[in-house]
């Protein structure tokens, strides 16, 4: 299977993850006017599952090191399969809430608060499980990102036109972040730590991602069905509406899932050299990418005051400094 050989390449892969995780939501934005996010999300999940399988039978099945996908699949223990699936279930709950928050509050709010909080929790949890890197630099980086989260929340609360929607969007982002910070450890714990030295019962990164995607799909029958009939905003839907979507609507959903899953795969592969805490922390720098999309492309704060725009730019600066500390930690 394909394996990263050094830390600098791992950082590059994490930067690609940032771009993927920070950009996939644009596919939802492009269909938001005529396609509810609850319906979009089914295609998004299918895109993740399809991409995880393609990666497993290509990058995960070729190369001299590690263990190929089929062999790995056959020897995997139920405990480790279950751990990867649990990671998918937790992620799916978090991501549905994040997508709902994005639909209500916009990318420049949902991502910095939700994913920023996930980054803080995820770095701490994964570092405790696999303490790789300088703990002091990691702490400084997490602290700067926490300041960025607080700034973003302040901007949102003071600039939102509707206090009711503001509260709901912010609350969903916070709950999403709390859950999002926990899923990665279950996927990491399912894998053998040195990708060049397979362990009995443990999963390769590609097999882990595939079972992670299975967890997302299975849980979606529950989580997203509830939202379709009991949405956070708007009228209730039914599954008949899904089949009435256009080819464009379905295609954008699958594309969104593909982009996100590529980012996840790159991040997991990079964790072999960077360690789960640093790899996850850098990947969740996607917040910066999403905020830039929301602020400068989608113009989500186009009517905001000058002081609000200053705070948004300071928020981005804190994020960049925090990510820099996380990179230096290894």
In a domain, 247, yes or no: yes
Cβ atoms of 20 and 86 closer than 8 Å: no
Q: What is the pLDDT of residue 160?
A: 53
**Dist. CA 57–CA 68, nearest whole Å:** 8
- Residue-wise burial string across 83-106, b where 16 or more C-beta atoms lie within 10 A, e elsewhere: bbbbbbbbbbbbbbbbbbbbbbbb
In a domain, 1, yes or no: no
Q: What is the pLDDT of residue 164?
A: 45
What the block records as the tokens of 262 is: 């590529």
Question: For 65, left (φ over 0), alpha (ψ -120 to 50), or beta?
Answer: beta
**Dist. CA 160–CA 177, nearest whole Å:** 21
**Dist. CA 57–CA 79, nearest whole Å:** 23
**Mean pLDDT across 218-241:** 92
Cβ atoms of 132 and 279 closer than 8 Å: no
Q: Rounded to an integer, what is the distance from CA 97 to the centroid of its chain?
A: 12
**Mean pLDDT across 49-72:** 94
Lowest-confidence pick of 32-36, 98-102, 227-231, 320-324: 98-102
Q: What is the pLDDT of residue 82?
A: 98
Q: What is the pLDDT of residue 83?
A: 98
- Domain count for the chain: 1
Q: How confident is the model at residue 316 (pLDDT cuts 50, 70, 90)?
A: confident
Cβ atoms of 82 and 211 closer than 8 Å: no
**Mean pLDDT across 92-113:** 81
Domain with 53 in it: 7-328
- Choose among 90, 93, 94, 97: nearest CA to 37: 97
- Residue 249: which residues within 8 A CB-CB, separation 6 or more? 31, 34, 35, 39, 40, 43
What the block records as the tokens of 133 is: 């890197």
> Residue 108: is its pLDDT beyond 70?
no
Q: What is the pLDDT of residue 214?
A: 98
Question: Average model confidence (pLDDT) for the chain?
Answer: 88
What the block records as the tokens of 48 is: 């993740």
Q: How confident is the model at residue 165 (pLDDT cuts 50, 70, 90)?
A: very low
In a domain, 13, yes or no: yes
> Residue 99: is its pLDDT beyond 60?
yes
In a domain, 215, yes or no: yes
> Which of 97-101, 166-170, 187-191, 273-277: highest mean pLDDT?
187-191
In a domain, 2, yes or no: no
In a domain, 33, yes or no: yes
**Dist. CA 323–CA 329, nearest whole Å:** 10
How much of the chain exceeds pLDDT 70, in percent? 95
Q: Rounded to an integer, what is the distance from CA 96 to the centroid of its chain?
A: 11
In a domain, 162, yes or no: yes
- Choose among 90, 256, 116: nearest CA to 177: 116
Annotate 81-114 with DSSP letters as a single string: HHHHHHHHHHHHHHHHHHHHHHHHH-HHHHIIII
């Amino acid at each position: 299977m394909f394996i990263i050989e050094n830390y600098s390449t791992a950082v590059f892969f994490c930067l690609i993850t940032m771009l993927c995780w920070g950009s996939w939501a644009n596919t939802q934005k492009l269909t938001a006017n005529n396609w509810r996010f609850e319906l979009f999300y089914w295609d998004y999940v299918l895109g993740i599952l399809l991409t995880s399988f393609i990666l497993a039978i290509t990058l995960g099945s070729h190369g001299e090191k590690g263990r190929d996908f089929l062999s790995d699949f056959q020897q995997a223990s139920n405990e480790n399969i279950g751990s990867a699936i649990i990671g998918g279930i937790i992620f799916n709950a978090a991501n549905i809430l994040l997508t709902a928050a994005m639909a209500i509050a916009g990318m420049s709010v949902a991502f910095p608060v939700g994913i920023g909080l996930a980054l803080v929790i995820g770095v701490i949890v994964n570092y405790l499980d696999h303490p790789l890197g300088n703990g002091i630099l990691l702490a400084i980086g997490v602290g700067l990102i926490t300041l960025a989260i607080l700034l973003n929340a302040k901007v949102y609360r003071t600039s939102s036109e509707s206090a009711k929607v503001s509260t709901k969007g912010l609350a969903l982002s916070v709950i999403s972040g709390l859950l999002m910070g926990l899923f990665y450890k279950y996927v990491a714990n399912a894998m053998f730590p040195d990708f060049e030295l397979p362990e009995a019962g443990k999963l390769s990164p590609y097999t882990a991602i595939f079972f992670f995607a299975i967890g997302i799909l299975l849980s979606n029958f529950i989580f997203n069905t509830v939202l379709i009939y009991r949405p956070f905003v708007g009228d209730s839907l039914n599954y008949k509406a899904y089949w009435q979507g256009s080819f464009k609507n379905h295609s954008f959903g699958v594309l969104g899932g593909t982009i996100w899953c590529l980012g996840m795969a790159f991040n997991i592969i990079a964790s072999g050299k960077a360690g789960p805490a640093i790899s996850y922390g850098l990947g969740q720098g996607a917040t910066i990418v999403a905020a830039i999309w929301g602020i400068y492309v989608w113009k989500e704060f186009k009517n905001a005051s000058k002081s609000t725009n200053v705070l948004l730019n300071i928020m981005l600066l804190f994020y960049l400094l925090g990510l820099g500390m996380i990179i230096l930690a290894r």
